[in-house]
Structure 1
Amino acid sequence: MNNKEMQSIIRNMDNVMYHQPWYGDAVMVMLKKIHPAVVYINPPHSHAAIEIVYHMIAWMHFTADAVNGTIREGDIGEIPANWRGIDPKVHTWNAALEELEQTHKKLVALLETKDDALLSQKLPNREYNYRFLLNGLMQHNIYHLGQIAFLKNLLGE
């Protein structure tokens, strides 16, 4: 199987999620530093940290579905639970972190089975390919991690 580039993408995804990315703390490292009591605080013109994490999860699920070939026309841009309502009794911080981590692991396991040829294929109904989507997902997670880091500082964490 020719998957050298896919393996590089997987390493980068793991670095962003767990290890030592160039920009600073990895996603899980930063998120574990946040006290669960503040994740529901929703400053004006912003999402709460827990909303952002579930948004990241939604895009990771979408990406896995795309790689798995199970997306349908209209799914892109209309992601189920993209910005879901949060019920603190159901959507706890620990549950969010666990789901984020499990979703990442499932996506990586799926990518491990794919050849580099997938990367240049276009997604259904889009003008971009899977390489762009996977790199974009990493950028998306870093972007939202920056928002969460800002919220953490804003809330005195």
Structure 2
Amino acid sequence: MPETQTLTSTCLADQLERGFRGGAWHGPAVMELLTGVDGPLAQWRPYPTSHSMAELAGHLAYWLRDAERQIVGAPHLQGGPGSDWGPAVMDSEAAWQAVCAALEEAHGRLRTAVLQVEESRFDEARSGSDTTIRGLLMGTLQHNAYHAGQIALLRKLAEAAGGRPS
């Protein structure tokens, strides 16, 4: 039996939590990296066309909501191409805090959905896709780790540069 078939809802939810909040094998988790980041630091970018930590946080929230949507069978998320990146500039600290709150909420909802999935559904094909729910969740874990690495690099660069938006 392939190793992926032994991943239960509890194990997958635990891995989502580790990659999001802490205890991940790959290094700092998403929220560990965003702790202490304020609005100006979150908007910093090394050059005009790169993403900021704020954009990455919004992007992660979007795809966590989408994964939850697919698990519970909810309608597609609204928005056109590129809507998963959100606004490039936020106008206040409150706007940054709202992005962080949306990220926390999206993670919590996905984790809850994963814990409620019957084990037999994990190998179900997703509508319009050739991957399973288990594959969706494994991809979500990889996506979170990838962007956590980007956030880690951006934060180091931003702090070294004084954290002023460019």
User: Which whole-Å CA distance do the structure 2 matches of 1:92 and 1:48 have between them?
Assistant: 14
Structure 1 letter corresponding to 2:97: N
Once the two structures are TM-superposed, the CA of residue 89 in structure 1 deviates from its matched residue by: 3.1
User: What does residue 152 of structure 1 align with?
Assistant: 155
Matched, 1:38 2:66: no
Structure 2 letter corresponding to 1:23: H
Structure 2 letter corresponding to 1:34: V
User: Which whole-Å CA distance do the structure 1 matches of 2:14 and 2:39 have between them?
Assistant: 29
Q: Identity over the aligned pairs, expressed in percent?
A: 23
Structure number with higher helix proportion? 2
What's the TM-score once normalised by structure 2's chain length? 0.81
Q: Quick check: 1:4–1:116 contact (8 Å CA) kept in 2?
A: no
Matched, 1:18 2:21: yes
Structure 2 unmatched ranges of 5 or more: 1-5, 161-166
Moved over 4 A (4+): none
Matched, 1:66 2:76: no
Distance 1:89 1:156, change over 3 A: closer
User: What does residue 51 of structure 1 align with?
Assistant: 55
Distance 1:4 1:22, change over 3 A: closer
Once the two structures are TM-superposed, the CA of residue 108 in structure 1 deviates from its matched residue by: 1.3
What's the TM-score once normalised by structure 1's chain length? 0.85
Structure 1 unmatched ranges of 5 or more: none
Once the two structures are TM-superposed, the CA of residue 31 in structure 1 deviates from its matched residue by: 0.7
From 71, 76, 91, the equivalent of 1:89 is: 91
Secondary structure at the counterpart of residue 150 of structure 1:
helix
Once the two structures are TM-superposed, the CA of residue 80 in structure 1 deviates from its matched residue by: 7.4
